[in-house]
Structure 1
């Protein structure tokens, strides 16, 4: 379920019991949504880094609100609203309309619930579109941004600059994010004053 080892950014440690329970609960709630590990996404990103951004072989969707997205995101991610209907998501991410089974679509949020909602919506849309042999499989990033950040994997802020911080979502789920990585919109606002 988890990978231990090293990344270019540092050592990857196993997630704590809270994160493991959260991942298991989300997987149980969305059994039809496949998960991709943080290590596998990091490898996909490394493999696709030589391709042009619109080559469409890897599409990363951040399903968090703007307040969270502005603090940090996975490099190359496009923000979509998890409450949007599929047509609005397709409008926001035009490359989704012309992808095939070779394309990897990875959704993430803070811990995986909202991104599983989006992955489920998109998978159902693609299944019902009649393009079954060529449809992409949309996945959820296991543990989402919190697990990614806790493993010291790359994040960028709203200016595209490297950061280690992530929005903690709320006081309860924020405990799944290492305390030194937590930063809210209000922290950003205070720093600009």
Structure 2
């Protein structure tokens, strides 16, 4: 019985350490004026079609998997014209995401400068989305466990799913 307790305690402890590491990482990359949104809140808004999700990762990452209904806008090839085709009303709630939330915060700042008024950054990105057991899909819209981790370093924040580099 004691052994089972210590095993359970080690799992809980490692999950808490992983969350602390993510918290520390995101706190070290402040994003003034861009609030975070939890994956749970984002999922509820997505299910009720109350937000547009924009994926700021690379085409290569997006082709492995994405959050359902998300539109690829990238980060290095960001195009204001492409955004205007996806989000016509500048008061629409926009949720941006990447792997963990750093690249997406930069795009969120650009969206604010373009006049979009309700922009939020998904806390922990697609990794946290998957860690919380929310669905991700491949290019055919089928649920998948595969997630592109961008690099081995960033992959440490993905606790569930199949890591693809």
| 1:179/1:104 CA distance change after superposition, 3 Å | closer
Cα RMSD (Å): 1.9
- Answer yes or no: is the 8 Å Cα contact 1:63–1:118 preserved in 2: yes
User: Given the two structures, how large is their TM-score scaled by the length of structure 1?
Assistant: 0.71
Match of 2:113 in 1: 124
Closer/same/farther in 2, CA of residues 89 and 161 from structure 1, 3 Å limit: farther
Shift of 1:180: 4.5
Is the counterpart of residue 17 in structure 1 residue 20 in structure 2? yes
- Correspondence for 2:152: 171
Secondary structure of the structure 1 residue equivalent to 2:65? coil
Structure 1's consecutive aligned runs of 4 or more residues displaced over 3 angstroms after TM superposition are none
Q: 1:76 Cα shift?
A: 0.4
Provide the residue aligned with 1:7 in structure 2: none
- 1:20-99 correspondence runs (5 A): 20-26=23-29, 28=30, 30-48=31-49, 57-85=50-78, 88-91=79-82, 94-96=85-87, 98-99=88-89
Residue equivalent to 1:148: 129
Shift in Å, 1:145: 0.7
Task: Tell me if the contact between 2:52 and 2:95 (Cα under 8 Å) persists in the aligned partners.
Answer: yes
- TM superposition score normalised by structure 2: 0.82
8 Å Cα contact 2:130/2:161 also seen in 1: no
> Deviation at 1:20?
1.7
- CA deviations over 1:13-71 (Å, ceiling 9, x no partner): 76522212122223x2x1221111101101101212xxxxxxxx421100000111111
Which SS does the other structure have where 1:94 is aligned? helix
Cα–Cα, structure 1 residues 16 and 105, in superposed 2: closer, same or farther, change >3 Å? same
1:110 — aligned with what?
A: 99
Give distance in 1, aligned partners of 2:159 and 2:81: 34
Determine if contact 1:164/1:181 at 8 Å carries over to the other structure: yes
1:136 to 117, 132, 136: 117
CA distance in 1, matches of 2:106, 2:34: 9
